[in-house]
Amino acid sequence: MEMLRSPIPVDLRGLNYAYGEGELKRLVLRDVTLAVQPGEIVLLTGPSGSGKTTLLTLIGALRAMQEGSAQVLGEELRGASEGTRVKLRRRIGFIFQNHNLLGFLTARQNVAMALEQDGALAEGARLKRAAELLAAVGLADHVDKLPSQLSGGQRQRVSVARALAADPGLVLADEPTAALDKASGQEVVKLLRNLAKSRGVPILLVTHDPRILDIADRIVSMEDGRIVDAGKEKAA
């Protein structure tokens, strides 16, 4: 039976996920049901090991689903082919801890790479746009540096610029401010909030950083693989 496409950007129902097999099998997500609306900023919290990162990587189509249903940007991920998952990943902006910046490319080239899918933009235009995005995260003076010449916080800001470059339909962020000082952390948070509110892009972030609790529209708490508190919509 063909499922109806959900108009909700992230629509998870009854997700279960386990690592390992046989005797070693460990369920790390249990019956997770969660909907994230357009433009909504949802913060995922919970103790270490509660399943937050696993949930984020499932939503980001970075790993194959096991049980339940997950519709992300209108695509059903249950039983989705690798091709479908690759296409979906291109529509998502990832801000993950291990940055994934390419060491042999400058900050500007790393960001410009994310614009390559936009065939309409010529190389020069892509580099110009990349420089603008880097300026927006406070790195105007560092566009031509390699990742190894930047601090951890600066690299994190490059990955934020890169995530925003591709005009994503959804942003997934794992501890996006962990490596940042107060001012750069606030800068990144402001950029994300702006993206969510001006373009209706939903943002799902995992964080332990109490400084960014207040940008969230909703705080979802996980414990032992379950959502124990789905949070309340903040009054507008």
Q: Does 179 bind ligand ATP (CB under 6 A)?
A: no
Stretch that binds ligand ATP, among 8-16, 41-49, 160-168, 226-234 (CB under 6 A): 41-49
Work out whether 49 is an interface residue with ligand ATP (CB under 6 A): yes
Yes or no: say if 8 and 77 are a contact pair by the CB < 8 Å rule.
no
Instruction: Report the residue from 8, 10, 32, 50 that binds ligand ATP according to the rule CB under 6 A.
Output: 50
For residue 232, which amino acid is it?
K
54 binds ligand ATP (CB under 6 A): yes
How does 48-70 read in b/e, with b if 16+ C-beta sit within 10 Å? Answer: eebbbbbbbbbbbbeeebeebbb
Burial class (CB in 10 A: 0-12, 13-18, 19+), 210: exposed
Interface with ligand ATP, residue 48, by CB under 6 A: yes
Residues 201/166, Cβ–Cβ less than 8 Å? no
Asked if 28 is part of the footprint of ligand ATP (rule: CB under 6 A), the reply reads yes
- Order the strands of the 26-36 sheet from edge to edge: 26-36, 10-19, 67-72, 75-76
Q: Which is nearer to ligand ATP, 51 or 176 (CB)?
A: 51
Instruction: Read off the amino acid at residue 91.
Output: R
Contact between 7 and ligand ATP per CB under 6 A? no
Q: How far is the CB of 97 from ligand ATP (least distance, A)?
A: 9
- Give yes or no for residue 135 binding ligand ATP (CB under 6 A): no
The residue type found at 99 is H
Cβ proximity to ligand ATP, 49 vs 152, nearer residue? 49
Interface contacts to ligand ATP, rule CB under 6 A: 19, 28, 46, 48-54
